[in-house]
Amino acid sequence: MKTAFKSYAQNFEDLMLYRALGHLERGYYVDVGAQHPEVDSVSKAFFDRGWHGVHVEPVPHYANLLRKERPGDRVIEAAVSNYLGHTKLIVFPDTGLSTTVPQIAAGHVDLGVPALELDVPTVTLASIAEELGDSEVHWLKIDVEGLEKEVLQGWDPATLRPWLVVVESTLPNSTQSSHSEWEEKLTEADYVHVYADGLNRFYAAVERAEQLKPAFALPPNVFDDVQLSKHSFMCRELCWELQEQQVELAARYESAQLQLEQADVRHQAMLNSLSWRITSPLRKALHMLSFAARKREAAAQPQLSPGTRGWLAKMDAIEEKRHS
């Protein structure tokens, strides 16, 4: 039975790639600007289906999470550019806004987003390709907060030729298109544009285009049978409501537990009290009188079947033994 596809990506990038490549039992990806191993991840759904690949992530916190959560994958803790060396990375903790582009970073700082600077190594797509050897790459994703042109300048299509390339194609945190700055590099390498989702542009290698392009004819829809990750911004409000309900239920449970414990303490104190022990014989006598009255009442009911009368006799014997 076919299982629903669970999407973790920010804008269904993983779903669109899976449409085109889901027929492959095992595949390989290169995720440049991977960030979190689950939140807004394009590769998570593929990893869960047995795929593996390379994550390039310069922020140490996210690189460490990827190492922990993606056994069998390779994590390169570096920024990708058009040269080998080092660069200054402006990190905006707990966001996907970290960038090596000063002008973009300044815009976030002006909005009051906390930042810190790190010196990080740089690699190129060409140097990554050397490490991959003969591995066939099925998709490459580039999300580098304004450095897309430089990343593609460091790419040699002869040594790294993914079936599909996905590039974030708007300026960070805006709807302003940026693909005119770098798209020529892809078209010159014989890649054809097959889809745009408002945030990214998808390209297929020309030799694979006829096979893959039909998967991008329609946007995500109900027939994709897709489930959303709990981190998806599309269900974030619902998740917050559920979290609030869980907090409330946990508080009510703790309160009930405390009340139960307090009642138990009071009950034990009552059982141990002097008055309870003194009145114990009286309670036993009252029980015996009640027991005798029930027996007389039962004897006065000839309509009871022998089986019922026998059962009552057994229950009375148990009661009498318990209170003797």
Q: What is the CATH number of the domain that holds 138?
A: 3.40.50.150
Residues 178, 295 within the same domain: no
Total Cβ atoms within 10 A of residue 59: 24
User: Of the given ranges (8-22, 77-91, 154-168, 246-260), which has the lowest mean pLDDT?
Assistant: 246-260
Q: Which residue has the higher pLDDT, 272 or 297?
A: 272
Grade residue 266 by pLDDT with cuts at 50, 70 and 90.
Answer: confident
Residues 122, 259 within the same domain: no
Residues 273, 285 within the same domain: no
Residues 266, 220 within the same domain: no
Q: Measure the CA–CA gap between 237 and 107, rounded to whole angstroms.
A: 27
Residues 165, 217 within the same domain: yes
Residues 163, 243 within the same domain: no
Range(s) of the domain holding residue 255: 232-278
Residues 250, 313 within the same domain: no
Residues 119, 184 within the same domain: yes
Q: Measure the CA–CA gap between 311 and 305, rounded to whole angstroms.
A: 10
Q: Which residue has the higher pLDDT, 304 or 257?
A: 257
Q: Give the phi and the psi of residue 43 in degrees, each rounded to 5.
A: -95, -15
The pTM for the full model equals: 0.73
Helices (H), the chain: 13-21, 44-47, 60-69, 102-110, 125-132, 148-153, 183-188, 206-212, 236-271, 274-278, 280-299, 306-323
Residues 300, 170 within the same domain: no
> Among residues 113, 117, 88, which one has the least CA distance to residue 101?
88
Q: 206, 229, 252 — which closes off a domain?
A: 229
Q: 210, 229, 248 — which closes off a domain?
A: 229
Residues 245, 290 within the same domain: no
Residues 202, 260 within the same domain: no
Quote the tokens at residue 66: 């990827």
Cα–Cα distances (Å) from 1 to 4, 104, 215, in that order, read 10, 47, 22
Provide the number of structural domains found in the chain.
3
Query: For residue 247, what pLDDT is reported?
Result: 84
Helices (H), 139-213: 148-153, 183-188, 206-212
Cα–Cα distances (Å) from 247 to 233, 235, 241, 244, 259, in that order, read 21, 18, 10, 5, 18
Query: For residue 230, what pLDDT is reported?
Result: 80
Residues 243, 290 within the same domain: no
Q: Which residue has the higher pLDDT, 322 or 17?
A: 17
